[in-house]
Amino acid sequence: MSQNPQSSGVSGEYYLRGQIARELATAVGTDHVSTDSSDLQAQASDWSWMSKYFQYKDLPQPSADFVVRPRTTEEVERVVEIASDYKVPITPRGGGSGTQGGTFAPYGGIALDLARMTDIIEIDEESLVATVQTGIDGPKLEEELNKKGLTLAHYPGSYHLGATIGGFIAARGSGVVSTKYGKAEDQVLQLEVVVAPGKTVKTLPVPSHAAGSDLLQTFVGSEGTLGVITEASMRVDPLPETRSFLSFSFPNIFAGIEAGRQIMANRLRPSVIRLYDEADSLKLKDWVGTSFTGTLMVVVCDGDQELVDYEVKAITALVEKSEGTSLGPDLGEVWWDGKYEPYARGKLPQPPLLYGTFDTVARFSAIPKIYRARKELIETEFAEYGARYTAHLSHWYDWGAMIYDRFYVDEAPSDPAEALALHDRLWDAGVLTAINNGGTVNDHHGVGVKLGRFMRPQYGHGFELMRSLKKAWDPDGIMNPGKLGFGPPTNSRW
């Protein structure tokens, strides 16, 4: 759409743009609507490699035409109503800490910044439930909960990068203590969502019921493509009385995977199990200061003293039976204290380095195959680029685990088209290897624009059902178009 009345004459489009801006300003207040280009770029940006690369190369990111900052659910309703009237896309933004280009606005429209929606509505100490507006970030909510002896127990690596409760839920997030406390989808109990054409729906007060299929979980993970999540009730937990740390070495990663499987199959519940391969243990040493390199497992047990003592004993016995050697508590403690350090010390990878994190989840029976296949693929098929591979497993379930493995190419090709193509080829290779070996697109980073093309191979005909649902709930396709593989808006003239 043309921005300049001089270059296009005061066209119908220019007038329409002004009209939309005026309606949006009436909805949320003039101060909370912006068309400033740096504001639009900032709203589009996230922590995806693509976003960092566009910024590094001084290239524009796919951005919206308006930034709108509502304060209340009623204001969000009005904004969605306006967007529906004019068939203008809406891209919600929480903290912009996502890694999949979820805040890119490839079809323009409205960037809906939820940063003003930060109220804590209620902390129900009897039921252990906190109800909040979804623009609140993790640390702010955690601080209030801690005052009452409670915790959200959701600490992602992006904890200090502004990640919000809405983002946790919208992209199925996971924190470092998820093995005991669950992912965002396990912690969320009730949602309030504004859907097209500007109506608010509330799911049931509890997640467990027999009143038909699960509306709550249909919105969880929908990344803004079905509606804007404005309010969430989250399960909270008592702050643990104590925390104990363990660490073990193994002759190889497969022995470590088996030890982790034993812990989970025996239904023990440490809050953390992190198993690093040799290459990743080197990175950990550099980033956090752990002194050991090799195959390393860090375990954290928390809760009351009696429970922790029991788990420490039981886990140590199981791991030592599975070729693990105890290294004492120190490495675990160093890891726990330093877990956000790389972010604080600016050690995160950035262009011209080319990098990507697959976070595949699979059953135990598939995990070793995926690790072997992906490591070999990255190190051999991309050997001409000097591609490197590192892996750790950090979220464990009764039935399987997540592999957080990364590729690195030290210097991306200088031509942007070539760099982006190499990036996508690495992703194609890695994700299809997972899917073909019984794994999934990913575990907790969401899909965004980056991984949308894998939804069809992942789900087969199931993806057509998802598309039908999307079409029925959002007939004009204005809710975060281009994400989750759903493509452009259908009837938009934008």
Ligand X SMILES: Cc1cc2nc3c(=O)[nH]c(=O)nc-3n(C[C@H](O)[C@H](O)[C@H](O)COP(=O)(O)OP(=O)(O)OC[C@H]3O[C@@H](n4cnc5c(N)ncnc54)[C@H](O)[C@@H]3O)c2cc1C
Positions touching ligand X (CB under 6 A) are 46-47, 91-99, 102-103, 114, 134, 156-158, 161-164, 166-168, 170-171, 173-174, 223-224, 228-229, 343, 348, 444-446, 448, 480, 483
The residue assigned the tokens 């097209």 is 196
- Whether the link from the prior residue into 197 is cis, omega within 30° of 0, is yes
DSSP-H helix ranges across 221-344: 253-265, 278-288, 305-321, 330-338, 341-344
Kindly state the smallest distance separating residue 335's Cβ from ligand X, in Å. 14
Kindly state the smallest distance separating residue 254's Cβ from ligand X, in Å. 24
The residue among 87 and 483 lying less far from ligand X, judged by its C-beta, is 483
Kindly state the smallest distance separating residue 258's Cβ from ligand X, in Å. 25
Kindly state the smallest distance separating residue 292's Cβ from ligand X, in Å. 22
Kindly state the smallest distance separating residue 279's Cβ from ligand X, in Å. 19
The residue among 224 and 324 lying less far from ligand X, judged by its C-beta, is 224
Sign of the CA dihedral with 58 first, then 60, 62, and 66 last: positive
Give the H or E element holding residue 132: strand 129-133
Q: How far apart are CA 111 and CA 32, in angstroms?
A: 12
Contact 406, 357 (CB under 8 A): yes
Kindly state the smallest distance separating residue 492's Cβ from ligand X, in Å. 17
Tokens describing residue 362 = 């699979």
Sign of the CA dihedral with 270 first, then 276, 282, and 286 last: negative
DSSP-H helix ranges across 135-267: 138-147, 165-170, 178-181, 184-187, 215-219, 253-265
The residue among 114 and 150 lying less far from ligand X, judged by its C-beta, is 114
The residue among 163 and 263 lying less far from ligand X, judged by its C-beta, is 163
Q: How far apart are CA 274 and CA 186, in angstroms?
A: 20
Question: Residue 454: what are its φ and ψ, rounded to 5°?
Answer: -95, -5
The residue among 254 and 343 lying less far from ligand X, judged by its C-beta, is 343
Kindly state the smallest distance separating residue 299's Cβ from ligand X, in Å. 18
The residue assigned the tokens 């805040």 is 103
Contact 479, 224 (CB under 8 A): yes
For 97-126, b where at least 16 C-beta lie within 10 A, e where not — what string?
bbbbbbbbbbbbbbbbbbbebbeeeebeee
Q: How far apart are CA 387 and CA 410, in angstroms?
A: 8
Kindly state the smallest distance separating residue 187's Cβ from ligand X, in Å. 12
Neighbouring-strand partners of residue 75 = none
CB atoms inside a 10 Å sphere around CB 131: 17
Task: Name the residue among 134, 116, 118, 111 with its Cα closest to residue 34.
Answer: 111
The residue among 369 and 453 lying less far from ligand X, judged by its C-beta, is 453
The residue among 89 and 324 lying less far from ligand X, judged by its C-beta, is 89
Task: Name the residue among 153, 25, 165 with its Cα closest to residue 95.
Answer: 165
The residue among 171 and 319 lying less far from ligand X, judged by its C-beta, is 171
Kindly state the smallest distance separating residue 147's Cβ from ligand X, in Å. 23
The residue among 430 and 446 lying less far from ligand X, judged by its C-beta, is 446
Kindly state the smallest distance separating residue 46's Cβ from ligand X, in Å. 5
The residue among 103 and 249 lying less far from ligand X, judged by its C-beta, is 103
